Structure 1
């Protein structure tokens, strides 16, 4: 099979590392505009038995014709770029007749991708946005759990990539870009209330959180952030009363981020006419400079489903809690949160290329068409721990 990864940053490199271990991937191409990043990627695979199957090309994302030439005839394209590029990469995949995956993260972009459904169907392309951790793996867990109930009243989803040794003042690190980190805190948060999609206030709903599988991690907090539920809100509207997503952080992160935002340091107002620098640009620069990147970390995630099983007098209320954990390991070559982003994405790409996903060509949320049982079994084999606890709701 032939797979192309667009973007050689932390996420693209992590996805490439997963795919390199599969002999069935006979042709693996990575594209990026940064030649130094591509050189670093190839150097990281020095001595790897599959190095001959990896090719890299320095191509800017605006060089559309060059990208089409390089990926034409490939089975799957994976965009590991910031969400702003996902729509254009989707169009390129459709034009070349390739299947396509991305990491999602923006609801408006998905809405534009969904409008390409007919074109994708005509060209034989299966388009799966939102295939990372959240949205992605957590959405598939939530949908799989939903299908195991007679009726479901609520689904709560939470996740976070947390530094093992948090550093003040944010007690956090930059596992993705500073822009991506900040953008979670600003837009309205998509959720479902009373069966209908609604927007919640970002950073609201602050509360403590604990994990049965990690009882030692007690100083954690969780609150609403955007860009994570995405397609699941529309898939389950009318079928659940309440659906929401919260991010997980070390205690104290919320108060610092809220103060920065309330002071106006995330505003788009220009503070330097000569350079057109905004307050947000200034804050992003400071975050890059002052907040550590890719510290040893642990991914914690939770999906809580409240519902009923049985009917009539035999109906019983049930709460099912899924807890997911994945700890940083130096042999991975990247952070735990990058592993939990790359592993679902890469495996769905393999499933598409193998023909293990039976769906008509078109634009599909992964939670609707990815075979959940075999997919989640694969995640466990990769070392992502998923425990299930049932209790009376």
Structure 2
């Protein structure tokens, strides 16, 4: 049985711990600095918990001793400490971060590492990176690669047309930080909340606009190989205009703590969400200009007797599937591992990867 550490006992960390424990092949040691959060985790004989300061890297290294791997499910600004502790302990490291700076630090740590450091193992970046790379392999020459993903309420009922479904800090970060894109073959930075577009899928109209972090390492991987590549978050129409008013006109981009407090006390969270994935690749195949697309909607489901939102299912299943493939030797076990290094067929065939198809509507 593999011993694995999970750091961060929030909605995603606790879901990862439960998925791994329920498989029967993992013993999970779950750590968080908030004891009430750990007490809320579903009881399971294969899960043990510990309360600790997650910025205390010496304590973290002790927590990781004897583990085969650690999965970081802490906010983006805290995951660097977990990566450094994993590198020092010589064990495999996986995270869910969308933050570009954190991923760059993980890449630096991976140089000459004896274990694998695998960032961005969630949904976006994560699963969408795996799908996009797989679609791209089917072309002789690429023109464009466009990724659109949204974690949305099934039943929006406020002016923002939105409910909180995941980390508020992460949401604000992706609405503020510059966004990587490939423009005319070169990686460049474009502003968040810009380049709005509308499209319809299954009879529903959505808007999409630039947000930070979704491309993951794809921008660097495909620079010079594709003319245009970008990532945009999907929302219901009207959301982008109101967020721009809050962040720019009211200058709440420079008062993140206040904005987080407003959102968390005014916008209710929901478990009734839906994940919308829409990826389109255009290019040339046998001298013909063609397009391939991947579209999917994923809904909440029950896992190990616990109801989980769609964002919990997709993010947690992504990390668990990549961990499984890593320990099975299906992906590189040393150095910096990109999501595009993960074969799509292996991911979807994995017991955790199957949650993606099982939850599809």
In structure 2, relative to structure 1, the CA distance for the partners of 1:231 and 1:94 (3 Å cut) is same
Query: Do structure 1's residue 176 and structure 2's residue 183 form an aligned pair?
Result: no
1:327-346 deviations in Å (ceiling 9; x for gaps) = 12355522101211110111
Give the match for residue 28 of structure 1.
Answer: 28
How far off its partner does 1:151 sit? 0.8
How far off its partner does 1:385 sit? 6.5
Q: 1:35-184 counterparts in 2 under 5 A?
A: 35-41=35-41, 44-45=42-43, 51-120=44-113, 124-184=114-174
Structure (1 or 2) with the larger CA radius of gyration: 1
- TM-score normalized with structure 1 length: 0.86
Give the match for residue 5 of structure 1.
Answer: 6
- 1:374 is aligned, of 339, 346, 360, to 346
- 2:179 is aligned, of 172, 189, 195, to 189
1:99-156 deviations in Å (ceiling 9; x for gaps) = 1100021111111221122241xxx210001110001000010011111111111000
1:253-298 deviations in Å (ceiling 9; x for gaps) = 1111111122233242xxxxxxxxxx33222211110011134011
Specify the SS of the correspondent of 1:57.
strand
Superposition RMSD in Å: 1.8
Query: Do structure 1's residue 326 and structure 2's residue 302 form an aligned pair?
Result: no
How far off its partner does 1:72 sit? 1.0
| Whole-angstrom distance in 2 between the partners of 1:385 and 1:247 | 23
Specify the SS of the correspondent of 2:319.
helix
Specify the SS of the correspondent of 1:95.
helix
| Whole-angstrom distance in 1 between the partners of 2:117 and 2:317 | 18
- 1:258 is aligned, of 244, 256, 267, to 244
- TM-score normalized with structure 2 length: 0.94
Where does structure 2 lack aligned partners over 5 or more consecutive residues? none
Asked whether the equivalents of residues 298 and 359 of structure 2 are also in contact (C-alpha less than 8 Å), the reply is: no
1:306-345 deviations in Å (ceiling 9; x for gaps) = 01112xxxx2121001012211235552210121111011
197-206 vs 359-368, greater mean Cα deviation: 359-368
How far off its partner does 1:380 sit? 6.1
| Whole-angstrom distance in 2 between the partners of 1:164 and 1:118 | 43
Asked whether the equivalents of residues 3 and 67 of structure 2 are also in contact (C-alpha less than 8 Å), the reply is: yes
57-66 vs 131-140, greater mean Cα deviation: 57-66
Query: Do structure 1's residue 342 and structure 2's residue 332 form an aligned pair?
Result: no
How far off its partner does 1:69 sit? 1.6
Specify the SS of the correspondent of 1:197.
strand
| Whole-angstrom distance in 1 between the partners of 2:125 and 2:6 | 19
343-352 vs 14-23, greater mean Cα deviation: 14-23
| Whole-angstrom distance in 2 between the partners of 1:6 and 1:184 | 22
Give the match for residue 15 of structure 1.
Answer: 16
1:330-363 deviations in Å (ceiling 9; x for gaps) = 5552210121111011111111122222x25111
- Kindly tell me the number of residue pairs found equivalent between the two proteins: 356
How far off its partner does 1:17 sit? 2.0
227-236 vs 64-73, greater mean Cα deviation: 64-73
How far off its partner does 1:90 sit? 1.2
